[in-house]
Amino acid sequence: MEYSLIADAYEKIEATTKRLEMTDHLVRLLKETPKDVIDKVVYLTQGKLYPDFIGIEIGIAEKLAIRAVARATGHSEKEIEEDIRETGDLGETAQKFLRKKTQVSFFSKPLTVERVYETLDKMARSTGAGSMDLKINFLAGLLSDASPKEAKYVVRTVTGSLRLGIADMTVLDALAIAFGGGKETREYLERSYNISSDLGRVAKTVAEEGIESIKEFEVSLGEPIRPMLAERLGSPTEILEKLGGKCTAEYKYDGERIQAHKKEDQIILFSRRLEDITDQYPDGSELTRKHVKAKEAIIEAECVAVDPDTGEMKPFQELMHRRRKYGVKKAMEEYPVSLFMFDALYVDGKDLTLEPYPVRRQHLEKIIEQTDHVKVSEHIITDDPEELEKFFEKAVENGCEGLVCKSVNGDSVYQAGARGWLWIKYKRDYKSEMTDTVDLVVVGAFHGRGKRAGTYGALLLAAYDPDEDVFKTVTKCGTGFTDEDLKKLPKMMEKYRIPHRHPRVISTIEADVWFEPTVVIEAMGAEITLSPIHACAMDVIRKDSGLAIRFPRFTGNYRLDKSAEDATTVQEVVEMYRGQLKKVAG
């Protein structure tokens, strides 16, 4: 196929601002294109060589492209740079200088799409020492054989400034008209794109095999499925109503979404934006390899950083922050990830995307071997708004953002690439920083694991209730302790150790070790939330809910100056919670 056909189409597309006209030009181009190169033509019209998830990009620096244009036209780089100041576009300048070229080589062959594509591909793949010269040579070679107009578009393509504005949806429209039998067939093409993320493959399939083949298009290992997204509502009642009275509610883990593709021992992890992020999560890959008990599978999970000593989930920013600071290997040691699996889209040859959610979940539960670091998302099935609210509070208490409520109806398919009402998220809309520290009483402790074996993984802390003269638990704190603190703590607490919960301590949580409420430490939390688990302010704000301090951190201050009765009171925690709400509202 001659590249001039593409260049002519680009010129027309560039000249219009109307989407319909743009589509018409594209339809004409696609119809003129031999079927075996249609995928390449589609990628090229979007300034690409491959679908995004492959991660091979064209892009060379303008400076290098200037050198290639200089070489191909016999002008100096300086002349070219000066001209760019006038045209504002190296493509335009290249066209101009090629027109001026006096010596026409009569033996040059017309530029073909195949040759342009292959050359750009070689350029994109050459890396390392000497690759700059190589790239310039490749480009100069193409430009020497190009017409002025072709040169303009080749230059724009390699410098990433093609910008024809051809969106994915325009290509799908054009494909529907050119090969599908009309625009109304676009929905099938759209679905095949949503489950493959590869417009080139979609184009080739419909051009070569027709629309029937597109209707039977299935997911394919190695090609990311565009993620299904959730809508949002503000209350359990609204959510249940929207989902037909009943739903499955799952913890909404606060991490990074991952789509894992497993083929025997080979694992690819895709991000929500469909980038290959396998290298960023060697531990995530290993967990998938070991604990997904299917030969082939595509599953979705939330990848969450977990404190190895306490088992607590960390807010996602912490993992990002650490990764930037220390690199992957170190981060893996400090905060290994856990995977919370929430969907199965393909298992051993079977495309599950059109199955209702309960069926997909069944498959998921069957193939996941649950361990400390691999879990199927925590869930309940309910038709009761109160139960939903309680489960939500429990999710928040356990370090989650809230819930994702999912339809369990017959039509609850996986809506790839769409934000719809089959999934509804329920998050706290109040969230603010806690600005004051609190002084809390150490009433219990949990044994540490890993690096913290032999000492405490976390302390159970309580606020003082002067009305009842008791201590009510408000948080579990495992962060902020230095190695020295950790060594010191068991010794320091030994004399207060008792074999059971102290009668003045109110707690629904079972600690591994109990203490007489004596020692006070200072802590800082991220926020205060409703919690069904902690006893502090139980039933004060809401029935069956207490208050908890989220993401607490020991400040390093042992408040030896304070007696347990001088600790922060339950009333103070309530005021802090209310103040926090006001702050957000204001």
Segment lying near ligand AMP (by CB under 6 A), choices 11-19, 250-258, 360-368, 546-554: 250-258
Contacts 24+ apart (CB under 8 A), 76-82: none
DSSP per position, 335-361: S-EEEEEEEEEEETTEE-TTS-HHHHH
What is the β-pairing status of strands 266-270 and 296-305? unpaired
What is the β-pairing status of strands 470-477 and 505-506? parallel
Q: Under a CB-based contact definition with an 8 Å cutoff, are residues 189 and 229 in contact?
A: no
Q: Under a CB-based contact definition with an 8 Å cutoff, are residues 308 and 395 in contact?
A: no
Segment lying near ligand AMP (by CB under 6 A), choices 245-253, 330-338, 346-354, 531-539: 245-253
Segment lying near ligand AMP (by CB under 6 A), choices 249-257, 260-268, 311-319, 450-458: 249-257
> What is d(CA 346, CA 259) in angstroms, rounded to the nearest whole number?
11
Q: Report in angstroms how near the CB of residue 188 gets to ligand AMP at its nearest.
A: 25
* DSSP H or E segment with residue 158: helix 148-158
**Cβ-based nearer residue to ligand AMP, 68 or 416:** 416
Q: Does 230 bind ligand AMP (CB under 6 A)?
A: yes
- Build a one-symbol-per-residue string for 414-433: x at contacts with ligand AMP by CB under 6 A, - elsewhere: -----------x--------
Q: Report in angstroms how near the CB of residue 417 gets to ligand AMP at its nearest.
A: 12
The residue number whose beta carbon is nearest to ligand AMP equals 257
* Ordered alpha helix ranges (H), 243-353: 282-291, 316-326, 328-334
Q: Report in angstroms how near the CB of residue 422 gets to ligand AMP at its nearest.
A: 11
- Ranges within 182-211 binding ligand AMP (CB under 6 A): none
* DSSP H or E segment with residue 119: helix 113-125
Q: Report in angstroms how near the CB of residue 476 gets to ligand AMP at its nearest.
A: 22
Segment lying near ligand AMP (by CB under 6 A), choices 116-124, 173-181, 247-255, 451-459: 247-255
**Residue count, binding to ligand AMP (CB under 6 A):** 13
Q: Binder to ligand AMP among 404, 511, 570, 576 (CB under 6 A)?
A: 404
**Cβ-based nearer residue to ligand AMP, 26 or 230:** 230
**Cβ-based nearer residue to ligand AMP, 361 or 534:** 361
Contacts of 245 (CB under 8 A, 6+ apart): 383
> What is d(CA 20, CA 46) in angstroms, rounded to the nearest whole number?
17
Q: Report in angstroms how near the CB of residue 421 gets to ligand AMP at its nearest.
A: 13
* DSSP H or E segment with residue 483: helix 483-494
**Cβ-based nearer residue to ligand AMP, 154 or 388:** 388
What residue type is assigned to position 514 of the chain? Answer: W
Segment lying near ligand AMP (by CB under 6 A), choices 65-73, 251-259, 345-353, 449-457: 251-259
3-class state of residue 191 by DSSP: helix
Q: Report in angstroms how near the CB of residue 221 gets to ligand AMP at its nearest.
A: 21
> What is d(CA 536, CA 520) in angstroms, rounded to the nearest whole number?
16
**Cβ-based nearer residue to ligand AMP, 209 or 275:** 275
Segment lying near ligand AMP (by CB under 6 A), choices 149-157, 163-171, 252-260, 330-338: 252-260
**Cβ-based nearer residue to ligand AMP, 117 or 253:** 253
Q: What is the dihedral of CA 543, 544, 548, 550, to 10 degrees?
A: -100
Give the start-end residues of each E strand in 448-494.
456-465, 470-477
DSSP per position, 569-582: BHHHHHHHHHHHHH
472 pairs with which residues across the strands?
A: 463, 506
Sign of CA dihedral 435, 440, 444, 450: positive
Q: Report in angstroms how near the CB of residue 232 gets to ligand AMP at its nearest.
A: 7
Q: Report in angstroms how near the CB of residue 272 gets to ligand AMP at its nearest.
A: 6
Question: Can you say how many angstroms the Cα of residue 423 is from the centroid of all Cα atoms in its chain?
Answer: 17
Q: Binder to ligand AMP among 377, 412, 531, 568 (CB under 6 A)?
A: 377
- Selecting among 135, 149, 152, 252, the annotated active-site residue is 252
3-class state of residue 554 by DSSP: strand
Report the 10 Å Cβ neighbour count for 266.
Answer: 13
Q: Report in angstroms how near the CB of residue 201 gets to ligand AMP at its nearest.
A: 25
- Build a one-symbol-per-residue string for 84-103: x at contacts with ligand AMP by CB under 6 A, - elsewhere: --------------------
**Cβ-based nearer residue to ligand AMP, 300 or 307:** 300
Q: Does 301 bind ligand AMP (CB under 6 A)?
A: no
Segment lying near ligand AMP (by CB under 6 A), choices 57-65, 137-145, 248-256, 444-452: 248-256
Q: Under a CB-based contact definition with an 8 Å cutoff, are residues 540 and 576 in contact?
A: no
> What is d(CA 151, CA 60) in angstroms, rounded to the nearest whole number?
15
298 pairs with which residues across the strands?
A: 261, 346
Q: Report in angstroms how near the CB of residue 384 gets to ligand AMP at its nearest.
A: 19
> What is d(CA 156, CA 161) in angstroms, rounded to the nearest whole number?
5
Closest residue by Cα to residue 203 from 217, 184, 223: 217
**Cβ-based nearer residue to ligand AMP, 188 or 253:** 253
Active site annotation includes 252: yes
Numbers of helices and strands, H then E, in the chain: 21, 21
- Build a one-symbol-per-residue string for 135-154: x at contacts with ligand AMP by CB under 6 A, - elsewhere: --------------------
**Cβ-based nearer residue to ligand AMP, 215 or 272:** 272
Q: Report in angstroms how near the CB of residue 349 gets to ligand AMP at its nearest.
A: 25
- Ranges within 315-344 binding ligand AMP (CB under 6 A): 342
C-alpha to C-alpha distances, 555 to 37, 131, 279, nearest whole angstrom: 64, 53, 35
**Cβ-based nearer residue to ligand AMP, 278 or 569:** 278
Q: Does 253 bind ligand AMP (CB under 6 A)?
A: yes
Segment lying near ligand AMP (by CB under 6 A), choices 181-189, 246-254, 313-321, 507-515: 246-254
Residues that bind ligand AMP (CB under 6 A): 229-230, 250-253, 257, 272, 302, 342, 377, 404, 425
Positions marked active-site: 252
